[in-house]
Amino acid sequence: MSYSVFATISVKPEHMEAACDAVAAIVPATRDEDGCIAFEPRRAADGSNTIMIFEQWADRYAFDFHHAQDYTKDVFAKYEGWLEEAPALVEVKPLEG
């Protein structure tokens, strides 16, 4: 059974562009990971300093593997000074079934 997460990331205004660039930079490598089904980052259209990422993985192991990669760790290290608060991760599932 796949493992899906919706991440909401609140960024300090002065770091929004850098945060978007950092996330965008890992998209190709992330999507190339064996267990990645979907990795879809977006920024809020309302102008707020929010990045949202829908992630779908083959299983929880694939999600954990992603977070163990150096490029993912690098983004999280940068987040330490860039974020308003810790990212909110919510496990999600399809409406049907």
- Give the CATH number for residue 35: 3.30.70.100
Per residue in 37-49, pLDDT (tens digit) is 999 999 999 999 9
Joined together, the tokens standing for residue 13 give 């205004």
pLDDT of residue 50: 98
Tell me what pLDDT residue 1 has. 81
User: How do residues 5-48 score in pLDDT, each as one tens digit?
Assistant: 999 999 999 999 999 999 999 999 999 999 999 999 999 999 99
Percent of the chain predicted with pLDDT > 70: 99
Residue 12 lies in a domain: yes
* pTM (global) more than 0.85: yes
11 φ/ψ angles, rounded to the nearest 5 degrees: -110, 140
Residue 48 lies in a domain: yes
In a domain, 65, yes or no: yes
Asked, for residue 97, whether it belongs to a domain, the answer is no
Q: Is residue 67 part of a domain?
A: yes
Count the domains in the chain: 1
Pairing of strands 88-92, 36-43: unpaired
In a domain, 50, yes or no: yes
CA triplet 43, 44, 47: central angle to 5 degrees? 115
CB 42 within 8 A of CB 51: yes
- Which structural domain range is residue 67 located in? 3-92
